[in-house]
Chain A
Amino acid sequence: MALDGRDPVKIDDALRPAMFDWLCRLGDNALILGHRTSEWCGHGPALEEDIALANTALDLIGHCQMWLGLAAEVEGQGRTADQLAYLRDAMAFRNVKLVELPNGDIGQTIMREFLFDAFHFELLTELSTSPNTRVAEIAAKALKEVAYQLDRASDLVVRLGDGTEESHARMQAALDHLWPYTGEMFTADAVDTAMTEAGIAPDLSDLQTRWTATVKDILDEATLTLPERRFDVHTGGKQGRHTEHLGYLLAEMQFLQRAYPGAEW
C-alpha cells in the first residue's frame, strides 16, 4: 500500500527500470521548466505577467511532485520526490534539453513555454486515458492546468509575433534559437518504446503529428516563419547527456540539501 493510501502501482517487475526512467522524464521536465519559470518572479515585464508566470511555475512544480512521487514508488528503494529532485546529479536527470536552457528575454521564455506546452498537452491528453490508473490520475489533474498554459502561451506568441517590429523580431529570434531543441521531445528511445509497448504511454510519432499541426497554425497566425533547420539537432537530455546549463541550475537548486546533508527544513 502506498503511503497516501492509494492502490500500489501495478506493473511487471521487468518494466520497473524503464517506467522509473520514463516517470523521471515527466517529473524532471516539469521540475526544470518550473524552476526556470520561477526565476521570473519579481522580474516580470508587467505585474499581471509576473503573477501569471508564478502560477505556471507553481503548477509545474506541483506536477513534478506527483510524477517524481510515483517514480520513487515504482523504483521501490524508499526514496522520495524531494530526494530525487535534490540529490541526483545532472547525469541522472531525464528532462529534455529544451527546458533547461536559460530563460533569455521574456519572448524566449514564452516561446519555449509554447513549444513545450503544445507537446505536454498532447502527451497528457493521451496519458489521461492510460490503462495505468495512477498515471491517468496524475495526467488528468495536470492536463487541466496545462490546457490553460497552452492557451495563454499560444495567445501571447500570436500577439507578440504580430505586434511591433521589435516584438516580431524577438519572437522570430526566440523560435530560431529554440527550434533545434524541440525534436528531442519526439525522439523515441528504448525507454519510450518499452512504455508504448506496455500500453502505458502513447506513440511519440502520433504526438509529433498533432504538435506540428498546432505549432504551424499558431506560428502562422503570429506571422512567424518556421525555421528550415533540423529540429532534432540537440538531443540526449532524456538519456542524461545535458547542456552545460543544467549543472549550474542544479548547483543553485540543490545547494542547501548538499551543504547540510540530512537536515530538515
Chain B
Amino acid sequence: MSKKEWPLWEIFIRGQHGLNHRHVGSLHAPDAEMAINNARDVYTRRKEGVSIWVVPSSAITASSPSEKGPLFDPAEDKVYRHPTFYDIPDEVGHM
C-alpha cells in the first residue's frame, strides 16, 4: 500500500486590504485548492476578508529566511480565545 505523504505548503496571508501577503507558516495538503481550505481553517480560524496564497514548499528557493515571526489575530467573534474574556480577580495576580 502506498504511503505517500501530503506535500508541504507555505502559507501567505493578507489580513487587510493594502497590506502585503505575509508568511504565516506551513501545512500539509494533497493539492493547492485543499491547501487554501486548510489554511483558512488552520491559520485564520475562518476570519473573513483575507486573501491566501499557497506555495509548495519545494518551489521556494531561499537565500536566508526572514527574521520576524508571523502573528495572526484569531477570528474576532471568538471572544473566548482572548485572555481578557476570563475574569480573574486582581488578587490572584498575573496569569
What B residues does A145 contact at CB under 8 A? 46
- Is B28 in contact with A46, judged by CB distance below 8 angstroms? yes
Q: Give A218 Cβ to nearest chain B Cβ, in Å.
A: 15
> In chain B between 10 and 41, which residues have their CB closer than 8 angstroms to a CB of chain A?
27-30, 33-34, 37-38, 40-41
- Is B46 in contact with A55, judged by CB distance below 8 angstroms? yes
Q: Looking at the complex, which one of B27, B33, B42, B78 makes contact with A155 (CB distance below 8 Å)?
A: B33
The interface bits of chain B over 34-54 (1 if a CB of A lies within 8 angstroms of the residue's CB, else 0) are 100110111001101000000
B6 at interface (Cβ–Cβ under 8 A)? yes
On whether A46 and B6 interact (CB within 8 A), knowing A55-B41, A144-B48, the answer reads yes
What A residues does B28 contact at CB under 8 A? 46-48
- Contact count band on B: 10 to 19
CA distance A164 to B6 in the complex (A): 15
- Is A155 in contact with B46, judged by CB distance below 8 angstroms? no
A58 at interface (Cβ–Cβ under 8 A)? yes
Q: Give B68 Cβ to nearest chain A Cβ, in Å.
A: 24
CA distance A19 to B33 in the complex (A): 41
- Chain B residues close to A by CB (< 8 Å): 6, 27-30, 33-34, 37-38, 40-42, 45-46, 48, 78
Query: A-B pairs with the 9 shortest C-beta distances?
Result: A52-B41, A48-B38, A55-B41, A51-B41, A51-B42, A48-B27, A152-B37, A55-B46, A48-B42
- Chain A residues close to B by CB (< 8 Å): 46-48, 51-52, 55, 58-59, 144-145, 148, 151-152, 155, 159
Known pairs A55-B41, A152-B37, A155-B37. 17 more at Cβ < 8 A? A46-B6, A48-B29, A48-B38, A48-B42, A51-B42, A52-B38, A52-B41, A52-B42, A58-B78, A144-B48, A148-B40, A148-B46, A151-B37, A155-B33, A155-B34, A159-B30, A159-B34
